Structure 1
Amino acid sequence: MDYQDILVNLKKKIYHPVYFLMGEESYFIDQITDYISKNVLTDAEKSFNQHVLYGKDTDVNTIITHARRFPMMANHQVVVVKEAQNIKKIEELEPYIKAPLTSTILVVNYKYKTIDKRKSFAKQLAKSCVLFESKKIYENKLPAWINSYLAAHNYSIAPQAAAMLAEYLGTDLGKVSNELNKLIITLPEGTKIAPDHIEKNIGISKDYNIFELQNALSERNVLKSNQIINYFAANPSSNPITRTIASLYYYFMKILTLHFLTDKSPNAVASTLQVAPFFVRSYMDAAKVYNPKKLVAIMEILREYDMKSKGFGNVSTSAGDLQKEMIYKILH
């Protein structure tokens, strides 16, 4: 079952005896666990029938003992096991998984890793309970996720604003959702969120950000590029050189890929480069400015400054000055 299927069933009060939630992305695991913890039992029922165990402080036998208890004055009891990745020999849960107590809802949080799917324990989990793998979202999918999250709360967002958030917040969905919730609390329902809203409420500059730097470079706008990189140099904590280099590398790599596409229709370009259709025109324009030879040279520049930022071939130049040098070489 995927995340949405699990939540739909929970909201319909379709419960399963065991939920084994694993994977690198903790956000979905936390959302499922929180929903079960908050909604299966009433506040009065929780006192006797809801238990939280922690992997560092428990073992398989303790979990099974709790899970085999019958609820008191309720239809269900809920047992949540957090940090289950720290439990030794968790596969010894298998006998309980084969024959769980149907009045118990056992929720196992196995975060930041997965169990070996080749072993019998994993096969039994897949057969007998809800086995959910929470995977990290790819960076190119993040703007769409932001759109979906806001739409569920009756908000929308401009493509530029979604790109700004995706670029600066990264793929930690817990962090992203926290920032989106700030916007939801602050702005009237139904608002279309624009870069101005992002700047005012989250603190990401709408004029001096990596997205605007890419646009300036794509036009070979020397003045604007220098203004932005000077801003980065003056604010290194919020604009680290490593992030600048990584973002520019993927940006210019997409432009290089575009040069060699046989089908350069907007839909084909958007699909191949994995960008929103809204941004295709800017990539097409950038490809006219930078030929493949120059793009290969830019890749070498970015690699050079990646090494320098890590101390190789650089003793005393600051990260801010390195960024300025790098942008100069890209533009000239």
Structure 2
Amino acid sequence: MEEAKKIVGDIINKKIAPIYFLMGEEPYYIDRITDYIAKNVLTEEEQGFNQMTVYGKDTTVDEIVSNAKRFPMMAEYQVVIVKEAQHLSRTIEQLAEYAKNPQPTTVLVFNYKYKKLDKRKKVYKEIAKTGIIFESKKLYENQVADWIRRVLSGKGYKITPKAAALLVEFLGTDLSKISNELEKLYLVLKKNTEITADNIETHIGISKDYNNFELKKAVGERNFEKASRIVAYFAQNPKDNPFVVTISLLNNFFIQLLQYHGLTDHSQRNVASSLGVSPYFVKEYQTAAKNYPMKSISGIIAGLRKLDLMGKGLGAQNLSQADLLKELLNTVF
């Protein structure tokens, strides 16, 4: 995020590189930087003659280089954007010669998603000397809630830990998808608002009471009645609550609980750091540890893994989600 901000800041300050190679597993920042360059390096009047977008699957490196070597018309720069550039991965090494001595009046942008250049290759080394290489790494799930908080803070909002956890649970680590949902909140909530689970439920449609986050909490508290209500809701809404997601989350929860028991320092800070969770949720692990001794957890994890295989059709034929969820409760209670 900071590196992306620096690239944009440099462009604002007219420190513009001749090549921007934007690559990596997380497409969000690749697209954001590409869009910023497309909208801000040239004026609207200049864009008509001096900006072009091509697609990797429809072009070649030679054609891109040929376009890049042209001079701008009545403008300081021309911008050449290559989207879906990952389709050129087999021939991208051919760009090395151009990268040695790029056209200074051309801004050449490669939108190279889900892949990255080999740092040992000549093309990487040449681009690194004359241009900008930006690698957009996918965030781990335990990093996404902090990312949400930082993004919202930049927009003038706050968010409760539970609301952030709900977003991560239902949207995963896809930053573009999360960003799109946050846009909905900007439209209906005033700045300086603290976004709550109620806001998420009302404006995004994620239930604040019937979700894996609440199921995990109910299991940790050994609250069978609450867990049963949530499981019944999941059984009635299987498409919105895939069994594979539920079993995976609970399996990870018990693995973390096993790690918790192995810690000698149970302070909030150390637990949060060791388990990779928000300090806000440490109390849940403290409560669950009292309800699930270390000896019982290994058996539960083994049972969950067996159930996971059953959910995938191994060892049990045509078992409904409702039946799988009943077995899940029997395994953890």
Give the drift of 1:11: 2.6
* Unpaired segments ≥5 residues, structure 2: none
Q: After the TM superposition, list the runs of 4 or more consecutive aligned residues in structure 1 that deviate by more than 3 angstroms.
A: none
Q: Per-residue CA shift, 1:236-264, capped at 9, x if unaligned?
A: 11110010011111111111100011111
Distance of 1:260 and 1:241 partners within structure 2: 29
1:262-311 per-residue CA deviation (whole Å, 9 max, x = no partner) reads 11111111110111111111111111110112111111121011101110
| Offset, 1:112 | 0.6
In structure 2, what is the equivalent of residue 72 of structure 1?
73
What TM-score results when the alignment is normalised by the length of structure 2? Answer: 0.97
Q: 2:315 matched to 1:301?
A: no
**CA separation in 1, counterparts of 2:87 and 2:116?**
12
**8 Å CA contact 1:23, 1:111 repeated in 2:** yes
8 A Cα contact 1:67 1:106, kept in partner: yes
Q: Matched residue of 2:72: which SS?
A: coil
Equivalent residue number for residue 111 of structure 1: 113
Q: For residue 26 of structure 1, what is the aligned residue in structure 2?
A: 27
Answer yes or no: is 1:146 the counterpart of 2:144: no
Residue 217 (structure 1) aligns with: 219
Provide the residue aligned with 2:175 in structure 1.
173
Cross-structure match for 1:54? 55
- The CA deviation at 1:122 is 1.4
In structure 2, distance between residues paired with 1:178 and 1:185 = 11
| CA distance in 1: counterparts of 2:236 and 2:11, whole angstroms | 49
> Structure 1's 202 and 71: CA in aligned 2 closer, same or farther, altered over 3 A?
same
**Which residue of the other structure, out of 95, 98, 108, is the alignment partner of 1:96?**
98
Q: Tell me what 1:156 maps to.
A: 158
Q: Contact 1:139–1:170 (CA<8 Å) still a contact in 2?
A: yes
- 2:277 is the counterpart of 1:286: no
Deviation at 1:137, TM superposition (A): 0.6
Q: Quick one: distance in 1 between partners of 2:283 and 2:296?
A: 20
| Aligned mates of 2:309, 2:210 — CA distance in 1 | 25
Residues 303 and 331 of structure 2 are in contact (CA less than 8 Å); yes or no, is this contact kept in structure 1?
yes
The residue number in structure 1 matching 2:257 is 255
| Contact in 1 for aligned 2:141/2:168 (Cα 8 Å) | yes
Structure 2 counterpart of 1:233, from 219, 229, 235: 235
User: Following the alignment from structure 1 to structure 2, what is the Cα–Cα distance between the partners of residues 247 and 11?
Assistant: 43
Q: Does the alignment pair 1:326 with 2:332? A: no
Distance 2:266 2:168 in 1: 26
In structure 2, the residue matched to 1:275 is 277
Q: Could you list the per-position Cα deviations for residues 122-169 of structure 1 after superposition, in whole angstroms to 9, with x for gaps in the alignment?
A: 122222210111110110000000001111110110000001111110
**Aligned residues: percent identity?**
50
Q: Is the contact made by 2:21 and 2:134 (CA closer than 8 Å) also made in structure 1? A: yes
Verify the 8 A CA contact 1:241 1:320 in the aligned structure 2: no
Partners of 2:127 and 2:323 lie apart in 1 by 54
Provide TM-score, normalisation by structure 1.
Answer: 0.97
**Aligned-pair CA distance for 1:2:** 2.2
Question: How far 1:59 moved relative to its partner?
Answer: 0.5
Q: 3-state SS of the aligned residue for 1:146?
A: helix
Deviation at 1:4, TM superposition (A): 2.2
> Contact conserved, 2:71 with 2:105, CA < 8 A, in 1?
yes
Q: Which SS does the other structure have where 2:111 is aligned?
A: strand
| Letter aligned with residue 170 of structure 2 | Y
**2:258 touches 2:297 (CA, 8 Å); kept in 1?**
yes
Find out whether 1:193 has 2:189 as its counterpart: no
Aligned length, in residue pairs: 331
SS in 1 for 2:155: coil
Separation in structure 1 between the aligned mates of residue 94 and residue 240 of structure 2, nearest angstrom: 46
SS at match of 1:326: helix
d(CA) in 1 for partners of 2:224 and 2:28? Answer: 41
Kindly report the root-mean-square deviation, in angstroms, between the aligned alpha carbons of the 2 structures. Answer: 1.1
Q: How many angstroms does 1:13 deviate by?
A: 2.8
Which ranges of structure 1 fall in alignment gaps of 5 or more residues?
none
Whole-angstrom distance in 1 between the partners of 2:66 and 2:285: 60
Cα distance in 2 for partners of 1:20, 1:131 equals 5
The residue identity in structure 2 corresponding to 1:259 is H
Superposed displacement of residue 56, structure 1:
0.9
